[in-house]
Structures are given as C-alpha cells and as structure tokens.
Structure 1
Amino acid sequence: MQIPDDFILPRYGHSALSDLLPSIGAHLGVPGCDRDVLGLPSAESYVVLLVDGLGDQLLRQSLQHTEYFSEVYGDAVRLTSGVPSTTATSLTCLGTGLVPGQHGTAGYSFRAPGCSHAMNALTWEGGPDDLLGFQPKATMFERLAAAGVTVTSVGLERFAGSGLTTTALRGPRFVGVDELDHPARIEASVAASREGSRNVVYVYERTLDHTGHGKGVASQEWLDALTSIDGFAAQLREALDDQVCLLVTGDHGMIDVSAERHVLVEDSPALLQGVDVFAGEGRLRQLWTSEPGAVQRRWEAELGERALVVSRVQAVEAGWFGPMDASLRDRFGDVLVAMRDDWAVMTRALPRELGLVGQHGSLTPAEMQVPLLVDHPASW
C-alpha cells in the first residue's frame, strides 16, 4: 500500500503521545520504563497539561498571538498522535502508554466488542458496562502509583468515573474543578505538585477543541481561546516551583471542513451497500462488513483521490495502530476511509456531526502532529 505524500504515520516508540508517560516513568523509577525516548529533563515532579485540539501546525502558525507558548516553542518536541487522530484514542494512548492496537479504543465511535452496533467512546453510549473488561491492562498512572509516585488528575468534575476516564486514565486521585475557574485549577495543580517525594499531575483543558469544532480553527473565537489557554499556561508555570517540569501537549490537530466538502453517504447509495456498521470520524470512517473487498472497491471508485481506502489488514501492516492484539482486531473497521485535503464523509443520520466546522481523525500532518512544550526552570 502506497501512503500518500500528504499523510504521515505515527511514530510509536520514538515520538508518539503514547511515549510521554513511559518517558516520565523512566525518570521516576517505574519498572518497565527503561528509556526516555523523548529526552525529557530529569525531575521528581512533572505536570502534564493536555490541551485538547492543540495541533503543532495550528500552534506554529499562531505563535505571534501567544506570549508564553512562543517563548517555549523553540525547544518543543513534535509528537504524533495515534490513529485515528482523535480524542478518545489519543487520551487512551497517553494514559496507558499503549498503542491503539494494544488498548483497543479504536476511535470516537467503533463497533462495540461482541456487538453489532457502534459505541461512542466519549459518552460511552452503547459501550459495555464492564469497563475493566473492556480495557484491563494497567494504565501508566496505575504503574506510577504502584512505584510509589503520587499521581493526581485535575479535570472537570463530570469526567470523574466516566467510561473513558476509567478505561484510559484510571489511577490518579481525581480533583474536580470548574474549567472556567483558572485560579482553582492552578491552586489544585500546584498543591498536587508538592505532594510526596515524586509526583505526576495531569491537567486537562478542552476549550480549544470545543471552539474549533463549533467555530473552526480559522475563526477569531478559536484564536481567542488559544490566547486564553496561553495565559492560563503562563500563570500555571509562574505558580509552580522551579523544580517542577511543566509539559504542554495536545491530543490531535484540526482542519476546517466546509459543507461543500462533505461527501454524504445518502447521496451515493453504493457507499452503504454491504456495510453492516458505519462509524468513526468524518475524517476517518470505519466500516464493518462481511464483504470487505467489494466494499473497499466501491469506496475507492466513489471517492477517488479524495481518500485513501484500505483494509484493516493493510492498515495494520502499515503500522497505523502499532502491534495489534488479536483479541482487539474486530474493534477496528474491516475497511478504513482516511480523507485527504479538507474532505469528510458525513451522514444525515448523525445531524450533530454535520454542524462540525473543525474536524480531525485522518493522517495529515495538521491532524497527526502535536507539540510537546517543555519548561523546567531548574534545568536552565
């Protein structure tokens, strides 16, 4: 399979989001974390600020509108997300230190294990009740805690105990805060960074992603959100002790998709012929079918140069999901449709998705690459 020049593959084991916490673990003495592949500063305390929707290309082209990010961007490491380049998959990569083929959170929506319907990994609609059965492998937070590291998560109160939090990010003490109350978030983060002799604090920020989906990344509203987050990060850094290493990263980038660039499956009936489950993101649809070869050929003929249409076997062989756990393979589509340029495959059956301006999920650099900003005054 030839990968288009406008796509990039994830760099699992070298510079992917799944490598971040294992690299921290290498400095904190976590068994099995033998090497820091990212070259992080050595510290006893790390604060990881995850900005949902912070793509590297988006940040780089907007640095003139930031103060703090522009100061630290010069030393940034460029990471790749997993595939799909979407929140549920990326947060699970971050939290578990595993690649998608090993943790099994196969996208925003995908076929629920042992079922004939799709589940939503963010809301957990249609998902199994047995959360530990769904993702039984130890998270990096659990491994850190088992090694005597104090771990804390600072996030929205309503995320405590959610399906995604439990499967992807379980292990830390959870501190619920109002996302608009920056002083409270900073106070909680600083307090957590002073607990124990070694600690890791995870802070989640979702405003940028929410604004990008609703208004687009080319909007003034998106730029205002970035400026606000830049100010929050600067205040957080100022409040943290110098020996604390602050790491700011994202889970995916984003591109704007106009309605004119929607491929509506209802307008091309051949696209759904033979498809049993239609799921995934507008930028990377996943199809489950008993006739994958025929479905792949129909989608290739219909979409042409607008997409790369591959079988699951081809995607696995190309390294999209990393090494694949055989028990998880059916969570990934029999056929995958990765959109190129600014196209998206949409359906009138999901009207809320039709209103999305900013989208992500495919393998373009704008979606796949995220920055890792490293700020550790004690190492200067």
Structure 2
Amino acid sequence: MAPAWPDEPEPLAPGTAPVPEYGSGSLADLLPTLAAGLDVPGFEHRISELTPADRNCVFLIDGLGWEQIKAHPDEAPYLTSLLGSSRGGTGRPITAGFPATTATSLASVGTGRPPGEHGMPGYTVRDPAIGRLMNQLRWKPWTPPHAWQPYPTVFQLADAVGVHTAQVSSPTFRDTPLTKVALSGGTFHGRLTGEERMDLAAGELAAGDRSLVYTYYSEVDGSGHRFGVDSDAWRGQLMCVDRLVQRLAEQLPPRTALYVTADHGMIDIPFDEQSRIDFDEDWELSAGVALLGGEGRARHVYAVPGAETDVLTCWREVLGEQFWVASRDEAIEAGWFGPVVDERVHARIGDVVAAAHDDVVITASVNEPNESAMVGVHGSMTPVEQLVPLLEVRS
C-alpha cells in the first residue's frame, strides 16, 4: 500500500481575515458618534455604549494597543483602572482599520470615514497619476492634499455649527499635509511637552459650552519601533503617558467625556530569516513586481502590467500559510478597507495585498533600510495590532 502523504496546507482565504468593525466599533466611528451627541448635522450615533457629553476630548496615544495596556498593569496603573467600568466610564477595545498604521488611522479618526473612502489605505501606496509610491505619513512626493483626500473633517463640520473645536499637539504637525486633510478644523495649538498639552487641552474643553478637543502623544510609538514593546525604553514611555492621562483626567471641566485611544498596536518581530523575509533578496517574491508598497505586515504589491495573476499566484504559494494574500478585488470584496471603496482610491490599492497572520514581516533591506531595522512593527489585522483602547473618563 502506498504511503498516505499529508495534504498540503491550504492558503489562508481572504474572507477569513478578521475585518475591522467598520460602522459600529472602529476608529472611524468615534468622532461621528461624538459629533452626533453634540448635535452636529449629518452624523449618527455609531458606537452604541457612548452617551453624549457637552464637552468631548480625544487623547490619541500613537502605538499603544489594547493588548499592550493589558500586558503592563504595573507600568500603567491609571490606564489599567480604566479597562473596566470604574471612574464613571467604560473601557473596551475598538478596531483601528486596515492597515493598522498611523497615516491611515489618523485619517479615519479625523474624517470619520474608513480607508476606502478617505483614500489613505497604507503607509506607502501608488499614486496612479505618476506611477510612483507616495508616503502618506511624510507626504512624499508632494501632491495637492485636498485632491488626495477631499472630504471635510469632523472637526471642520463641528466648528462650522458653533462647537468649540481645537487640536493640541506638537508644533511640528501644525502645517503638515496630513494634519490639513485629517485633523484640521477650529484652532491648532502647538505645545512641546506632554504636560503642556494636557493642561491646554483641559483649558480648551472649558472654553466652550459645546467642545470637541483632540490631543496627541507620539513617543510610545517611537520607542516601540526602535527598541520593542517590552523594552525598558518603551515601558518608561508607557509610565509617562499613564501619568499624562491621569493629569488630564483630573483637570476635566464639568460635563466632559475624555476618550483615550490609539492608532494601532504593535508586535515585536525577531531578527531571523524565518521571521523576516527580505523582498529585496527574494527572487520569487520580486518577480513581476513593479513597486512594493505598504509596510512589513501590510503590503501593497503593484505588478508589472500583465503579470498580476502570476504575482498573486506566487505570493499565495510562498506566503499563503503566513499571510492573508488577496487580489485587489478580493480585498475590497472582503471589506478590508471598509464597506465602500471610492473610485479614486481603487488604483491606490495593490494588485496584491498581503496582511500578516503569523509573527512574520516582509522587509526590503535595500529600499527600506530604516523600516527594516525596526524592532516593533504593525499594520495587519491581528488583535495585537488591530485592537486599540477606547477608555472613558467622565466628569
């Protein structure tokens, strides 16, 4: 009798990926829910458990996922206390959206729209007009911001009907294209230190009978990328931001709801050949590829014209047990970028989209040396990257 060889494992089907909770529990749903509670026309209550408040503050901590808070109660005692239902609020995870990366998430927050609508579906994506990759965080090469992302922000719409609206962040971000298309509306206040931002945000909340204030802290993300999310440097930043949240919470004026959230979580990937697949050294993966976009755990792959089917077949055969690998149409059909993908956004999405399932990353050592050296990374739909906190404090 011939030996019974085990069946080859099936590639991960695109439809099995845990799609973000667009419409009811994603970052794109937070500001519309708050705006609805402030009676801003055109918005509806999307996150069911949030109740209206006259004054609302969103504190977004770059890179601080739900799983990271849960794993570090000693370094974040105040944040940990908000995971349950203490202090008059609730704590739950929501989903970032795909890909779980800063430019995409900030655009989702500010516009109240999923990536398929606001049109910033990755760290780098192809600009169809010029056939080159555009870095949507650094806005290179430059393109007219409001042609790239034409929708008004929730802040702009709230400001137009008399809601006191402000953003409190680093002065570095005052005039960036990303701020203009994602977070503008009302008044921008630049402050260097976290403490200054917390104090000013509290003052801005008190400045209106109806208020919508946004503030931001980036250093947790930076430490995670450089040193990893379990490093001493990262833990130190977590301790710092825990104190900042408490500082702001203790200054809230009456009738205020503070919401602490993040743009993505993060995962550390070991520096070994099994965990880090170098596209620039892999002839199979690079065959037929004109441009490699996205980032290590959420890749947009743009094929040479005519090679789309071959590239999809190869990527699925090589990576299909470790990544959800989809064609553009399959990713759109599965809802990865939201229920709607605008026509202008369609060609920005890769001919092939690869989202990591396992603890693995696709680097590009020659073309992306800085990104390839990062310890902590993010982008995909796994819980550690996708789940971000929605922690509430009310006064």
Query: Normalised by the shorter chain, which TM-score bucket?
Result: over 0.9
Cα deviation for residue 346 of structure 1 reads 0.7
User: What is the CA–CA distance in structure 2 between the aligned matches of 1:266 and 1:277, rounded to whole Å?
Assistant: 11
Q: Secondary structure at the match of 1:73?
A: coil
Q: Secondary structure at the match of 2:250?
A: helix
Encode CA deviations 1:183-215: one digit per residue, 9 max, x unaligned: 321221122111122111100111111110000
Matched, 1:97 2:112: yes
Residue 37 of structure 2 corresponds to which residue in structure 1? 27
- Give the alignment partner of residue 131 of structure 1, picking from 145, 150, 154: 145
The number of equivalent residue pairs is 373
Encode CA deviations 1:107-142: one digit per residue, 9 max, x unaligned: 1111124121101111111131x1111111111111
User: What is the CA–CA distance in structure 2 between the aligned matches of 1:209 and 1:34, rounded to whole Å?
Assistant: 31
Does structure 2 conserve the Cα–Cα contact (< 8 Å) formed by 1:41 and 1:376? Answer: no
TM-score, structure 1 normalization: 0.95
User: What is the CA–CA distance in structure 2 between the aligned matches of 1:354 and 1:42, rounded to whole Å?
Assistant: 43
Residue 83 of structure 2 corresponds to which residue in structure 1? 73
- Give the alignment partner of residue 171 of structure 1, picking from 163, 185, 194: 185
TM-score, structure 2 normalization: 0.91
Residue 293 of structure 1 corresponds to which residue in structure 2? 309
Cα deviation for residue 97 of structure 1 reads 0.1
Encode CA deviations 1:227-267: one digit per residue, 9 max, x unaligned: 11000110111122242211100111110012211101132
Q: Secondary structure at the match of 1:111?
A: strand
Residue 9 of structure 2 corresponds to which residue in structure 1? none
Letter in 1 for 2:135: N
Residue 108 of structure 1 corresponds to which residue in structure 2? 123
Please list, as runs of the form range in 1=range in 2, the aligned pairs for 1:151-300 lying within 5 A after superposition: 151-178=165-192, 181-260=193-272, 261-289=275-303, 290=305, 291-300=307-316
User: What is the CA–CA distance in structure 1 between the aligned matches of 2:166 and 2:219, rounded to whole Å?
Assistant: 21
Matched, 1:329 2:341: no
Encode CA deviations 1:307-335: one digit per residue, 9 max, x unaligned: 22110100111110111111211111110
Please list, as runs of the form range in 1=range in 2, the aligned pairs for 1:330-345 lying within 5 A after superposition: 330-345=347-362
Does structure 2 conserve the Cα–Cα contact (< 8 Å) formed by 1:97 and 1:140? Answer: yes
Letter in 1 for 2:68: L
User: What is the CA–CA distance in structure 1 between the aligned matches of 2:46 and 2:325, rounded to whole Å?
Assistant: 35
Letter in 2 for 1:191: G
Residue 16 of structure 1 corresponds to which residue in structure 2? 26
Letter in 2 for 1:77: R
Please list, as runs of the form range in 1=range in 2, the aligned pairs for 1:52-67 lying within 5 A after superposition: 52-67=62-77
Q: Runs of 5+ in structure 1 lacking a partner?
A: none
Cα deviation for residue 303 of structure 1 reads 2.1
Distance 1:217 1:331, change over 3 A: same
Letter in 1 for 2:55: S
User: What is the CA–CA distance in structure 2 between the aligned matches of 1:58 and 1:170, rounded to whole Å?
Assistant: 29
Does structure 2 conserve the Cα–Cα contact (< 8 Å) formed by 1:306 and 1:341? Answer: yes
Which range moves more in the overlay, 309-318 or 105-114? 105-114
Distance 1:113 1:44, change over 3 A: farther
User: What is the CA–CA distance in structure 2 between the aligned matches of 1:250 and 1:37, rounded to whole Å?
Assistant: 16
Q: Runs ≥4 in structure 1, deviation > 4 angstroms? A: none
Distance 1:60 1:3, change over 3 A: farther
Please list, as runs of the form range in 1=range in 2, the aligned pairs for 1:315-326 lying within 5 A after superposition: 315-322=331-338, 323-326=340-343
Q: As a proportion of its length, which structure holds more helix?
A: 1
Encode CA deviations 1:62-108: one digit per residue, 9 max, x unaligned: 12332211221102121101110100000000000001010000111
Two-structure CA RMSD over aligned residues (Å): 1.4
Cα deviation for residue 224 of structure 1 reads 1.4
User: What is the CA–CA distance in structure 1 between the aligned matches of 2:195 and 2:217, rounded to whole Å?
Assistant: 14
User: What is the CA–CA distance in structure 1 between the aligned matches of 2:30 and 2:320, rounded to whole Å?
Assistant: 37
Encode CA deviations 1:5-52: one digit per residue, 9 max, x unaligned: 7x4211100100000000001110011113242422321101110001
Does structure 2 conserve the Cα–Cα contact (< 8 Å) formed by 1:154 and 1:176? Answer: yes
Encode CA deviations 1:152-190: one digit per residue, 9 max, x unaligned: 000111111101111111213100010xx2332122112
Distance 1:326 1:182, change over 3 A: closer
User: What is the CA–CA distance in structure 1 between the aligned matches of 2:319 and 2:80, rounded to whole Å?
Assistant: 40
Does structure 1 conserve the Cα–Cα contact (< 8 Å) formed by 2:13 and 2:324? Answer: no
Letter in 1 for 2:327: S
Does structure 1 conserve the Cα–Cα contact (< 8 Å) formed by 2:78 and 2:242? Answer: yes
